[in-house]
């Protein structure tokens, strides 16, 4: 298949692009700078960087022609509703022009659920519209009601590799500064997923996209760890012995506010329909290895 990845130079996007290329697909990676270091990293993984600004469809519209699938991994915080709706419209227009169907793999996340009061959530759990990220479920519904072939992926909290936008990466930064902080409810627990396990889920979706048209998949491991305990393990691997400061979720900004509750999910559907399973057991298995990977990513920058 010919696949366009939006957000290809990002933390998750790079690993997904590389995994798709290894699986034998022809992969184009959208980037604002097709000659920069991040684009060269894509090329090393046999991904072809193509230049374009996701917020400006005129700069990437031509790359839709000839593609079989689009993987969307970018959250535009400046206009999250507008840019994703424009993507839906551009794909629909491309189908109209060519008569060729494009399968969209659309990424949201488990923090979109917000406070549900449920001990375990799955693909059928309705999101709380009061969540700061509740608009992502609204976009999922709009996509489902439209003409596009699609599959939705809702990842858990991602870790591993360079961890540039992972919560673990932020914890490493704070640990090295000697100022670790935990935001919000100290009892909350998250479902996590290693970045390479997540990338494998996209590969499996695109092995036979017609078979999972219209489906939603939660992708996370089976652990039920208290998030504060995970942070203690992570900062300890960075050599930080400082006491973790406790702050309200509001002090950490919107993303911490959106995730200030238990976010535990079941991966049963992904196991059953995709044959997917996490190969990495838990974020706390080898935090020293995660720390070294994060440090190596900093040196590469």
Reported as a single tens digit per residue, the pLDDT across 185-221 is 999 999 999 999 999 999 999 999 999 999 999 999 9
Q: What is the DSSP letter of 243?
A: P
> What's residue 100's pLDDT?
86
CA distance readout (Å), 186 to 55, 227, 229? 37, 7, 9
Question: Cβ–Cβ contacts within 10 Å for residue 2, how many?
Answer: 14
d(CA 128, CA 55): 27
**Quick one: average pLDDT of 97-107?**
93
> What's residue 5's pLDDT?
98
d(CA 176, CA 104): 39
**Is residue 143 predicted with pLDDT exceeding 80?**
yes
* Percentage of residues of the chain with pLDDT beyond 90: 95
**Is residue 294 predicted with pLDDT exceeding 90?**
yes
Band (pLDDT 50/70/90 cuts) for residue 99 is confident
**pTM for the model:** 0.96
**Is residue 301 predicted with pLDDT exceeding 70?**
no
Q: Are strands 2-6 and 26-31 parallel, antiparallel or unpaired?
A: parallel
Tokens describing residue 145: 């009601």
Q: Which residue has the tokens 């894509």?
A: 42
* Percentage of residues of the chain with pLDDT beyond 70: 99
**Is residue 300 predicted with pLDDT exceeding 70?**
no
CA distance readout (Å), 244 to 106, 123, 186? 36, 34, 11
Residues in CB range of 240: below 8 A, 6 or more apart: 175, 176, 178, 180
Q: Are strands 103-107 and 149-155 parallel, antiparallel or unpaired?
A: parallel
**Quick one: average pLDDT of 29-55?**
95
Tokens describing residue 72: 């969307």
């Amino acid at each position: 298949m010919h696949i366009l990845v939006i957000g290809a130079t990002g933390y998750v996007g790079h690993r997904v692009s590389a995994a798709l290329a290894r699986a034998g697909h022809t992969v184009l990676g959208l980037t604002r700078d097709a000659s920069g270091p991040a684009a060269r990293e894509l090329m090393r993984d046999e991904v072809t960087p193509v230049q374009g600004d996701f917020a400006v469809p005129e700069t990437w519209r031509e790359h839709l022609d000839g593609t079989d699938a689009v993987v969307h991994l970018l959250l535009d915080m400046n206009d999250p509703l507008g840019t994703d709706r424009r993507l839906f419209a551009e794909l629909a227009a491309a189908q109209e022009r060519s008569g060729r169907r494009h399968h969209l793999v659309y990424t949201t996340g488990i923090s979109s659920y917000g406070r549900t009061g449920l001990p375990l959530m799955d693909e059928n759990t309705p999101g709380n519209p009061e969540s700061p990220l509740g608009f992502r479920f609204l976009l999922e519904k709009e996509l489902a009601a439209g003409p596009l072939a699609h599959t939705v992926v809702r990842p858990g909290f991602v870790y591993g590799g360079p961890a540039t936008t992972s919560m673990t990466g932020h914890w490493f930064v704070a640990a090295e500064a000697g100022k670790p902080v935990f935001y919000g409810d100290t009892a909350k627990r998250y479902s996590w997923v290693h970045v390479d396990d997540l990338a494998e889920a996209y590969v499996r979706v695109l092995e036979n996209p017609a078979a999972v048209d219209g489906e939603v998949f939660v992708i996370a491991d089976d652990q039920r760890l208290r998030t504060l305990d995970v942070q203690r393990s992570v900062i300890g691997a960075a050599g930080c012995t400082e006491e973790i400061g406790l702050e309200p979720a509001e002090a950490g900004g919107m993303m911490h506010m959106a995730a200030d509750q238990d976010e535990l999910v079941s991966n049963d559907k992904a196991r059953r329909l995709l044959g997917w399973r996490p190969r990495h057991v838990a974020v706390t298995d080898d935090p020293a290895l995660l720390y070294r990977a994060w440090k190596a990513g900093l040196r590469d920058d």
